[in-house]
Structure 1
Amino acid sequence: MAKSKVLFAKAQLERIDKAYSLPYKFMNLLEASPLKNMITPGNIVAIKIHVGDMEHGGYRTIRPIFVRVLVDYVKKLGGIPFITDTWGLRHIIVGLENGYNYETIGAVALPVSGIKETDLVKVRVPNPLRVSEIEVGSAVYYADVLINFAHSKGHPSSGYGGAIKNVSMGCTGPNTRSAIHNLEREDQIGRAFQEGLADAFHAVILNKPNKVYNINYVLDVQPTCDCAPWSDIPIVPDIGILASEDVVALEKATLDLINNAPVVPGSIGEKAGLKPGDNKFFIIHGKDPYIQVEAAHRKGLGNMEYDLVEV
């Protein structure tokens, strides 16, 4: 199998010029992406992000400027974008308060499965590893295109949460999320939980062949999830934004870059004695994050081999 292409907009400013600033590099990444072939005029485009915690204690989520760049590009292609997240209307209100509103990003925010998380579509999982049926949020299910815009960070249940988890737990209903969390009882290394994530991801994208694009925002890399009501010093310096149609290659490239990066002084990474080359989230949380990547690969959702293409 040929290597999958992963586009990479580096956070580092190589020259004092706006063209080298990350928002402009992100624009270049989108221009180089296959989105122009995925979106046709009039398509409804769901952009799945995490809008932050319910108590306003966390603050290192995806910055609205980058969501705006993506929204404007979708509109340029003739698409009709909206942003979406789980937990019903109350979480959408939190997102508006956190800056993800029409004035800042140029798109409406809709709950992924209705105001009370009851608007769901049951989907059978092909060749399930752990979960055979998934409740998919109707806003994503019925959208023409899904852009999976994830913040890469740590997570106590899976070691890491990025593009796979953003869809698996963020585009599904409460029964599905509970079923996947119940898998944590099966082992101590997070294997069952992460295989459940792969099943849920598979179900969500099943009715969108060649209509899903995955983006990892690898800045403010936190030790824990965006749903936690706190933020900490990032464990590694800002890396940039990566994107690919292939979620497996994207997640593998993201984890490799994080693991090869130095740690930030004063962070939990420094306190844990982490160094370049370490499997950082495995050491922090005791869960190997590559399990979810390999599980998605086993399900035929992508390629472990990738070419990193800087834009």
Structure 2
Amino acid sequence: MTMTKSKVLFASAVLEKLEKAASLPYKFAKLLEESPLKDMIAPGNIVAIKIHVGDMEHGGYRTIRPIFVKILVDYVKRLGGIPFLTDTWGLRHAIVGMENGYNYETVGAPIIPVSGIKETDLVRVRVPNPLRLEEAEIGSAVFYADVLINFAHSKGHPASGYGGAIKNIAMGCTGPNTRSAIHNLEKEDTIGRAFQEALADALHAAILNKPRKVFHINYVMDVAPTCDCAPWSDIPLVPDIGILASDDIVALEKATLDMINQAPIVPSSIAEKAGLKPGDNKFLVIHGKDPYIQIEAAYRKGLGNLDYEVIKV
């Protein structure tokens, strides 16, 4: 029996025509309209939008641009949802996010720390079929939200090769003890397997109480070599690709990585210095960690499908 391919919606950054409908903000709005969000969000639902609001020292600048966050917030409101933005590290990081442009005036939604002002508002969740973690502490703001929209920035990461939708939830919706437990697994191997399998476990715990109420978006723009938490930004590895989205996180992440790997190299980037070319596993070469491990781990846990179909909006 052939398994149905999961649908991955794709809004390309390429401007096919010199008109506003061909510009990425309008394509993103169309993507949202064609997404299953209308079936997930009921009037009055509280909707958590997990983003990364940037580093604490204002040295990095290649984060998700607020215009796209506003488009998402406005769409959630049109569906009758009550949206809020959320990220980890407590109140101090929420303030940093506001300073970085993610505030009510610019995007139309407040920022609420995922686990309270001092990261103490947590819910312990047993991990089903654990690979590395038996338990994870999930931020109460995400745990008690009716719907979770995972709006991730796809980029590199030294511990997992790549960080996108999986890592945005696994490290961004959990408490300090869980994050430390995951980071402690970095020393278990050199390829990043233990760390990435723990990411899959933490992801599983975070979405466990939200069947058919989680939607994932990858912002595949400014694909930097390192995480948004670093106080610096470098030239992107590849040209801007666009925005991909799906209710299947495994299919989304695989489609995203495949597109990044197939893309050409940006001159003067670390990718060029490493001699990379289209078709190479770019993050494996740069960080020495195979990023497909986290995708396969999530697949083994039953969190999605490796077979996907890209639908261009």
**Structures share fold, TM-score greater than 0.5:** yes
The letter of the residue matching 1:31 is E
Q: Which amino acid aligns with 1:84?
A: T
1:95-174 alignment runs, 5 A limit: 95-174=97-176
Q: Give distance in 2, aligned partners of 1:168 and 1:306.
A: 22
TM-score, normalisation: structure 1:
1.00
> What is the alpha-carbon distance in structure 1 between the residues aligned to residue 74 and residue 265 of structure 2?
34
**Correspondence for 1:85:** 87
| 2: CA distance, partners of 1:132 / 1:80 | 33
* Identical aligned residues as a percent: 81
What's the CA shift for 1:162?
A: 0.1
Alpha-carbon distance, 1:185 to partner: 1.1
- Tell me the SS of whatever aligns to 1:95: helix
CA distance in 2, matches of 1:186, 1:266: 34
How far the C-alpha of 1:283 sits from its partner, in A, is 0.2
Q: Deviations over 1:172-210 (max 9, x none)?
A: 000000000001111010000000000000000000000
After TM superposition, give the deviation of residue 235 of structure 1 in Å: 0.3
Q: Give unpaired runs (5+ residues) of structure 1.
A: none
Q: Counterpart in 1 of 2:206?
A: 204
Match of 1:32 in 2: 34
Q: What is the aligned counterpart of 1:4 among 6, 16, 24?
A: 6
Instruction: Name which of 266, 269, 291 aligns with 1:267.
Output: 269
Residues 25-67 of structure 1: per-residue CA shift (max 9 Å, x gap): 0000000000000000000000000000000000000000000
The aligned counterpart of 1:187 is 189
- Report the counterpart of residue 240 of structure 1 in structure 2: 242
Counterpart Cα distance in 1 of 2:278 and 2:189: 28
Q: Distance in 2 between matches of 1:260 and 1:172?
A: 32
Flag structure 2 segments of 5+ consecutive residues without an equivalent: none
Q: Which residue of 1 aligns with 2:25?
A: 23
1:304 and 2:306 correspond: yes
Moved over 6 A (4+): none
Q: SS of the counterpart of 2:67?
A: helix
Aligned to 1:287: 289
In structure 2, what is the Cα distance between the partners aligned to 1:214 and 1:97? 25
In the aligned structure 2, how far is the partner of 1:284 from the partner of 1:186?
Answer: 20
Q: Could you say what secondary structure the match of 2:16 adopts?
A: coil
Is 1:73–2:75 an aligned residue pair?
yes
SS of corresponding position for 1:115? coil
Mapping 1:37-52, distance limit 5 Å: 37-52=39-54
Provide the residue aligned with 1:226 in structure 2.
228
Distance 1:189 1:249 in 2: 22
Q: Deviations over 1:243-282 (max 9, x none)?
A: 0000000000000000000000010010000000000000
- What letter matches 1:55 in structure 2? E
The C-alpha deviation readout for 1:121-142, integer Å capped at 9, x for no partner, is 0000000000010000000000
* Structure 1 vs Structure 2 CA RMSD: 0.2
SS in 2 for 1:47: strand
Distance 1:212 1:225 in 2: 23
Alignment partner, residue 260 of structure 2: 258
User: Following TM superposition, by how much is the alpha carbon of 1:94 offset from its aligned partner in structure 2, in angstroms?
Assistant: 0.3
Separation of aligned partners in 1, 2:289 and 2:33: 36
Distance 1:29 1:274 in 2: 31
Q: Matched residues in 2 for 1:57 and 1:254: separation?
A: 26
SS in 1 for 2:215: strand
C-alpha separation between the residues in 1 aligned to 2:105 and 2:180? 35
Q: Which amino acid aligns with 1:165?
A: K
* CA–CA distance in structure 2, aligned partners of residues 184 and 36 of structure 1: 39
Q: Provide the TM-score with structure 2 as the length reference.
A: 0.99
